[in-house]
Chain A
């Protein structure tokens, strides 16, 4: 959906870092993150393993483990309030279910000893504004995520359901409190593709109806293309490029973004070889200076040993690169 220039973001991160320890020199899991999420939009956070996606999501939920939470710096505004200075956990108390999360492994969010009916009702009880008896609302919640015969399913325990069904139950639970912001951290990575497809459709549909904002974390560009309005690309703890979804796919400005997009095989043609990025992503203690990507970049020059500034490359589209690409992808 479109966002208006004048609209205030629901969430804004300014210069957010999470370090291993308090010092500014301590290795950073994520570094100087600036990110806005507007009401009702879906922002994709895409990047390879270890780039800091989960850390970013946990930071803005204030759910980092204590050691890392101590290393959190910067400002995080949620609905105008700076939540980076709240005590960890206090956010959950203040904001109730306004910010909700779906994780990769549905079993991590479900309690194996209680029936799913039980767990749904627990969530529903906290939503004081909704009407109707708990049982009926729990059934409704399961219906809303298209679980067949919801009444009998209420008595099921998590292990009695398929992975796809479990993830839908997690969805139902996190939506019981009508969140305004949903953080979905690789919610479909453990699902089969035909089940993933249905879950994504469902999530999109629910989002539209509830008009919630979403931060969608994934490493899959196909999922980003299907789900997101805007995209932030992470590499080695930084957002290296951010822009509207079509710009990111059609005219990526960062060399990393373009190289990564091109290295993914697609069903519609089979080239002789895939374009590749040499080497592998750095660990958090071995991150190169300057542009974090320079040792793997086809265009690296001596200038790249200095940290690049974030440059505007188009409307609401910027990249951290000294030599941003300007051409349409695929054009010579």
Chain B
């Protein structure tokens, strides 16, 4: 495969927080590697607090990792200087969950959308106006909507505006953090289609973050599953959603309730509480909830092992020595 457009190696993010009167380390993201390729969508799935947004902010260079490095077109991002950083800002664009807080209510839509265009030098006013009209139409709105304010639009339309802004500078990467989670059901499908169409049309690399496995299945080619700040399984979306290898992914799949009253009961239904990231379990982080755990799970943290589906998962059951 070609070189990744955006990648991360050994990412870690530790927050120093005050808890019960003591200074404590919160490991929001630990030892995380990922690769995003042009024209592909990488799904990031996991429950609340597993570190998805922290990862997103680091990949957008909005937060600095405690350890590890983000790479953009083969260059380490910590070393990006003025011009290269500007290019990164043009090429990597975010869409956030809540279009009510992400769009400045005092700015006209046209100005909001034109903002990322300031990263491109030498665009005339009429070029900008033309581009704003183009992207508004690309998301199913009208060029004339540029003159209106965000509060004149419904939630779904606002998310379209946020997407129009994200594609205005002809980016190469879209970072999508729960872009449909605050939307109504009938609006979700509209937005997901728009994102998928844009991704295909412009050959974008997308990182699609969601807590909903079904949405990830629709959007993503490849998936990483996170638990307590770590990647515990990776594979194609098809593999993760049909033959997952890690007991946690199996639990997530069992909990993704199908719209079918006659669906069979899952084999491994989820159990237990999500542990506090301030006090993560020893050994395998999932052992406190895992129905398949055995002696070594409590003490030894499993590395990533090759999984039958072609990806990999951090579970001792996949250790080739155990399997024999």
Contacts and interface: CB of A to CB of B under 8 A. Distances in A.
B50 to A, nearest CB: 9
Contacts of A221: 259
A268 B269 contact: no
Given A192-B47, A197-B269, A268-B241, A226 B257 contact: yes
B83 interface: no
A164 B48 CA distance: 12
Contacts of A194: 47, 251-252, 255, 270, 274, 289
Interface in A244-290: 245-246, 249, 259-261, 263-278, 280-281
Interface core residue of A196, A266, A278 (most chain B CB under 10 Å): A266
B254 interface: yes
A223 interface: yes
A222 B187 contact: no
A301 interface: no
A134 interface: no
Given A193-B211, A273-B196, A280-B154, A225 B257 contact: yes
A162 interface: yes
A49 interface: yes
A280 B184 contact: yes
B44 interface: no
Contacts of A272: 196
A224 B263 CA distance: 12
Contacts of B300: none
A48 interface: yes
A271 B189 CA distance: 12
Contacts of A201: 269
Contact of B184 (A224, A268, A275, A281): A281
Contact of A162 (B217, B257, B274): B274
Interface string B183-211: 01111111011001100000000000001
A143 B240 CA distance: 35
B166 interface: no
Secondary structure dominating the interface of B: helix
Given A221-B259, A263-B185, A162 B273 contact: yes
Interface residues of A, number: 47
B112 interface: no
Given A225-B257, A264-B214, A264-B259, A276 B274 contact: no
A287 B169 CA distance: 38
A222 B258 contact: yes
Nearest to B187: A280
A67 interface: no
A277 B273 contact: no
Contacts of A259: 186
Given A192-B211, A267-B217, A280 B274 contact: no
Contacts of B214: 264-267
B295 interface: no
Interface in A214-259: 219-226, 228, 245-246, 249, 259
Interface residues of B, number: 46
B39 to A, nearest CB: 15
Given A267-B213, A271-B218, A222 B257 contact: yes
A84 interface: no
Given A164-B273, A194-B270, A266-B259, A276 B47 contact: no
A162 B212 CA distance: 20
A313 interface: no
B103 interface: no
B215 interface: yes
A321 interface: no
B302 interface: no
A193 B189 contact: no
A277 B218 contact: no
A280 B156 contact: yes
A275 B189 contact: yes
B320 interface: no
A196 B255 contact: yes
A56 interface: no
Contacts of A164: 273
Nearest to B237: A270
A245 B215 CA distance: 24
Interface string B247-280: 0000111111111111100000111011000000
B215 A263 contact: no
Contacts of A85: none
A265 B273 contact: no
Given A265-B217, A277-B189, 14 more contacts: A48-B184, A48-B186, A49-B184, A162-B274, A192-B211, A193-B213, A193-B270, A194-B270, A263-B186, A264-B189, A266-B259, A267-B241, A270-B218, A296-B186
9 contacts: A193-B213, A194-B47, A197-B254, A197-B269, A260-B185, A266-B258, A272-B196, A276-B189, A280-B156
Interface of B: 47-48, 154, 156-157, 184-190, 192-193, 196-197, 211-215, 217-218, 237-238, 241-242, 251-263, 269-271, 273-274, 289
